Amino acid sequence: MQITKFTHSCLRIEGAGVLVVDPGAFSERAALDGADAVLITHEHFDHLDPEALTETLEKRPGLRIYAHADVLAQHPRFAEASTAVEPGGEFEAAGYRVRVHGGQHAVIHPDIPRIANVGYLIADGSTNLYHPGDSFTVPEDTTVDTLFAPLNAPWMKLSESIDFVRAVKPGRAYALHDHLLTETGAKVSDGHLERLSGTKYAHLAPGTTIA
């Protein structure tokens, strides 16, 4: 399994097939090149770019899109290519086994209604990774090899990210949801996670691939 981190919250996973998670408005459209399947965690624009998906479907009509039913209901144009998922479900996408976790987006403010958000545990038979979307839902009854942990957002504070990594106890952790931070802010946050998360932590530059 090779994992490429694109800008903000987008991951491209290659090996059995090409699986892309959360290709949003901030991420490079190249992340979708040759994609076999796409996983969407929730409806926000920084995780879902409908125009980019439409363009990809025109090039690759066999592309499959997986998202919560609340998300798919807002995009009927993807009906024939999409499958609804919900927490507790399992399915195969692009040759990977995917387990769905979560349920709701983290609280931004009590006056803002919460929306559906799912996290994805993606496995290829020898290793796995977890993408939580916009939440700190800890996957139950599993060992996570590679965790992508949110670094900055209107709905979080850094201590929550540190505690999230500690709770998951992954083999290694990388920054996710990082585009809103300045370079200086990222260095400060990274320093705290390196010292306090309890595991190997790194902040990947967009376009970096790890195995």
Domains of the chain: 2-203 (3.60.15.10)
pLDDT reading at 94 higher than 90: yes
pLDDT reading at 16 higher than 90: no
The per-residue pLDDT for range 162-204, each reduced to its tens digit, is: 999 999 999 999 999 999 999 999 999 999 999 999 999 999 9
CA–chain centroid gap for 128, Å, is 13
Question: In 49-83, which positions are buried (b, 16+ CB within 10 angstroms) versus exposed (e)?
Answer: beebbeebbeebeebbbbbbeebbeebeebeebbe
Whole-angstrom distance, CA of residue 39 vs CA of residue 99: 11
Whole-angstrom distance, CA of residue 117 vs CA of residue 197: 24
Could you tell me what percent of the chain has a pLDDT over 90?
Answer: 98
pTM for this model (two decimals): 0.96
